[in-house]
Structure 1
Amino acid sequence: MFLSNLVTFLNNIVISITLAVTASALLLPNQATDPPHKFKQISSTQTPSSKSVDTSIEGKDGIATYRFINSNAGTTCILLRTDAVVEVKFKLHNLEEQADSFIPEKALVDGMCNREDNSYMRLSWTGYSLVISFAKTPGGELWYIDNVELTVSPDLPQLKGIKFHGNAIKLYHKTMLIPTPVGKSYSCEELDIDLETDRENRAPADLRGSLLLRALQLQPFMYKSEQFESAIECGQNLSETKQVDVYEQKY
């Protein structure tokens, strides 16, 4: 009797295990699984909208392309390709200090290009904003950089020691740079732009900065092409500089 009951008990265990395995096999195909990881793809194609459209595109070796699009025409109006870094230099406890920041490849791009003779591009990233303004000479033969303005948040950890009276640190370059024929781009392996404070900002006397542009190619006032036109290399525009002097004397 005991042996018969033991056999019956073991048979029931085997049947229960079989049913559990079968149910699990039926449920597995319907269970949710983690989706595969996907890499974000960056496209250079932009859809024109009622507002200005902007984009930045990752490149190789830290070189990025920043594009600002005129929404009225749906075409690129300012195109910048470079590997750039901004430097802020100051004194702390009588020692020279320096805070550097690379302009990220995914910096936010905006600007203005709805005027015939003036435009600008602004690149923004955490704690920083860089505005590069462009203008044309009288007659419209040449374009040039009219102003560079770097705005830096004093709340950045590396700048905590600066005694600054104001909401932000501002550095400028207000003299003409790289006069280039309209319809041409400008290129240079390395361009260093010194930045200084404005007296009105009541900044410390030893505060200064620089904008370093490596592998630079730049073109504002674009109308039809989505790519750079043929480039004027740095060092080749001495004659244009003289021509600008003539314009300034004339006007």
Structure 2
Amino acid sequence: MAIITSLLLLIPSAIAVATASIVSNAGLPTDWCRNGPAPMTKYTAYNNALNTDVKQCSVVTRQDGQKIGWKTNFNISNDDLLMPKSLTMAALSFNPPLVSSIQTIPVEFDYEYSCPANDLEAVVIFGMFLSYAPNTAATYEVVVLLNTYGASKIAGNFVNTVTIGETLCDVYRSEDNTIFTFVVKTPTFDLKADAKLFLNNLPINSNLVDMQYLVYIYGGSKIYRGTEAQFDVLNLSVDLDL
């Protein structure tokens, strides 16, 4: 049984990288198999193998305005499914705004997964971090669980069921009230949504949410196991309308 693990526990420096000033390097990296970020114009892409036994390589396939696409190939054997062995993701580069100043957060996330061995254990997620100040540690993590492969499951307490646009989600809350997970009831391969609506539907005081800064936005996959598998993001597009 795999448990959703906070992104901060996996790559603690991620927010510091993603919320830095937008980088000027617009070049697309070729295949890269090392751990760590690849900063680009609008996004920072991550190829993070969290275990020395993991074989994983990624390549960015598109970078067009607000759109980014990439493929990650991996070969991961794992009998302990409590913690992910790897992750692959991209995070938007932006100057953190107050939540109260955000009108909409248009998001598109189209992806495909393939694993001929049929032993894939992974989750596909879109997420955001909130903080009391632009450059301090995150106070809240908001996770949208788009799809679960294998026996992966969410941790936390069920709160309620909400409709975000046309998407029905079960909402879970961590024991310490810092991680909120929206589990899409029908697996979604082509998310099109206003992510601000997830913030509007957090099960905490709305005034408290409005006082936070949005410091991090990402999309990708946490991987627990998969033989000769591929995660193919056709398009991740995120924008902020203030």
Q: Structure 2 length normalisation: TM-score?
A: 0.33
- Rg larger for: 1
* Greater per-residue strand proportion: 2
Greater RCO, 1 or 2 (C-alpha within 8 Å, sep 6+): 2
Instruction: Flag the structure with higher helix content.
Output: 1
